[in-house]
Amino acid sequence: QKEGFRYFMEKETYEQSAVVSDILTGRIGKGGIRLDELPADWLKRFSSITLCACGTSYHAALTGAYLLERLAKVPTRVEIASEFRYREPILDPTGLFAVISQSGETADTLEALKLASAQGLETLALCNVDNSSIVRAASHTVLLRAGIEKGVASTKAFTAQVMALWLLAIYWGQARSELSEETLARELDALRRVRVAVKVQPRVHDRLHRLSKRYLHGHGFFFIGRDIFYPLALEGALKLKEISYLHAEGYPAGEMKHGPIALADAELFTVALMPRSCLHEKIKSNVEELSARDATIVAITTEYFELADDIIQIRAYDHPMLEFFEMMVVLQLLALEIAVRLGNDVDMPRNLAKSVTVE
């Protein structure tokens, strides 16, 4: 069943290109995006959206907020389900409440959804499992089309979640007439190229395999990024934590100087997400500050960067989402290779279950 791969997580990482093709099937037309599950008139009624989720799905939600505000111009709020439930939240009665879940069974996410429904809000589930509790409880659903995910550490479901949110942002932007023709064309062109960006390149996987032996010690990792690369940094850190059991933290790069930089020394490994197409000079100067304090820098970037101790080179793209997806694969495989070297069972990490049905 693993089809020659060592772990389901590895197989699922390699499957992402096919998943992206499935997600786009029938959804890109001449006039833009089609999301037949969601009538445009229905969507146009809402003045805001709240995205609520846990774990990796929460990181997808954070990414979605950048996309929804940028493309659909819809005010977007993101909530961790376990916090949301108990803080007596005030919901926008004219807003849409959306949950994101691979399994459709996460207890906190399900309860958050019920809470919003009970307050009379319309609800949307972005979910990978049809007929799951979350799908049954939501008024509308977009199925993620990632296929069955077996690895406890989520990979292809995250891709599917981010893709679904991106499609939603474009579709909603179209419905609200917020997208210029150029922007729409640029987004559609980028969507069509994701399949290539998420395809694992043997050169990169081999490089990560060789590089991983240098990062098995030390007292921790920081993953840093800006804009959509900030939630991706959170996700990279979570992947590493889950399967390697090493301490890793994701941080918005611009926040490092407000405290965490105090930790910087040669044994602090900083994985810097340095896309070319998005705030490049800003992240560069954040990394320079860390390098000046002797942090060991692993740069994921498109070009030579003199301050990096190691560079993982990705291809240059003219759209941040393409750099996002290519970096995402690097982070998934980096976590995998480190965990394998440490002798861990990547598909069955200690203390974790695939679906968290208790709060």
Sign of the C-alpha dihedral computed for residues 251, 257, 259 and 265 taken in this order: positive
Cβ neighbours of 294 (radius 10 Å): 12
CB nearer to ligand F6R: give 159 or 174. Answer: 159
- Tracing tokens 């100067």 back to the chain, one arrives at 285
Residue range at the interface with ligand F6R (CB under 6 A); choices 95-103, 166-174, 188-196, 256-264: 95-103
Asked if 270 touches ligand F6R (CB under 6 A), the answer is no
Min separation Cβ 225 and ligand F6R, Å? 18
Please identify which residue in 123, 141, 154, 291 interacts with ligand F6R, judged by CB under 6 A: 154
DSSP 163-183: HHHHHHHHHHHHHTT---HHH
Q: Does residue 63 belong to the site contacting ligand F6R (CB under 6 A)? A: no
Q: How far is CA 121 from CA 71, 86, 107, 126, 307, in A?
A: 23, 18, 19, 16, 50
Q: Does 106 bind ligand F6R (CB under 6 A)?
A: yes
- Judged by beta carbon, residue 190 or residue 238, the one nearer ligand F6R is 238
Q: Are 152 and 354 in contact (CB under 8 A)?
A: yes
Choose, by CB under 6 A, the member of 9, 19, 46, 55 that binds ligand F6R.
55
Closest listed residue to residue 95, CA positions, set 74, 112, 79, 126 = 74
Contact call for residues 301 and 326 (beta carbons, < 8 A) = no
Q: Which stretch binds ligand F6R (CB under 6 A): 96-104, 117-125, 214-222, 340-348?
A: 96-104
Q: Is 355 in the site for ligand F6R (CB under 6 A)?
A: yes
Residue from 13, 16, 56, 141 in contact with ligand F6R (CB under 6 A): 56
Return the amino acid letter for 203: R
Span near ligand F6R by CB under 6 A; candidates 13-21, 43-51, 98-106, 303-311: 98-106
* Closer by beta carbon to ligand F6R, 129 or else 264: 129
352 CB-side CA count, 13 A: 20
Q: How far apart are CA 65 and CA 95, in angstroms?
A: 14
Closest distance to ligand F6R from the beta carbon of 299 (Å): 24
Q: Which of residues 126-145 bind ligand F6R (CB under 6 A)?
A: none
Q: Which of 332, 219, 230, 337 is nearest to 273 (CA)?
A: 230
Q: Which position has the token pair 């960067």?
A: 305
109 binds ligand F6R per the rule CB under 6 A: yes
By CB under 6 A, which span of 1-9, 22-30, 54-62, 323-331 interacts with ligand F6R?
Answer: 54-62
The two tokens of residue 46 are: 């809402």
Site membership for ligand F6R, residue 13 (CB under 6 A): no
Q: Cβ 157 to ligand F6R, closest distance in Å? A: 7
CB of 154 to ligand F6R, least distance (A): 4
Question: Could you tell me the smallest distance in angstroms from the CB atom of residue 142 to ligand F6R?
Answer: 14
Number of neighbours of residue 183 by Cβ within 10 angstroms: 14
Q: Total residues at the site for ligand F6R (CB under 6 A)? A: 15
Residue of the chain from 50, 63, 76, 102 that contacts ligand F6R (CB under 6 A): 102
Residue 289, CB-side half-sphere exposure with 13 Å CA sphere? 17
Quote the tokens at residue 86: 């108990």
| Binding of ligand F6R by 153 (CB under 6 A) | yes
Least Cα distance to 157 among 34, 273, 36, 13 occurs for: 13
Residues in contact with ligand F6R by CB under 6 A are: 54-57, 101-103, 106, 109, 153-154, 238, 242, 355-356
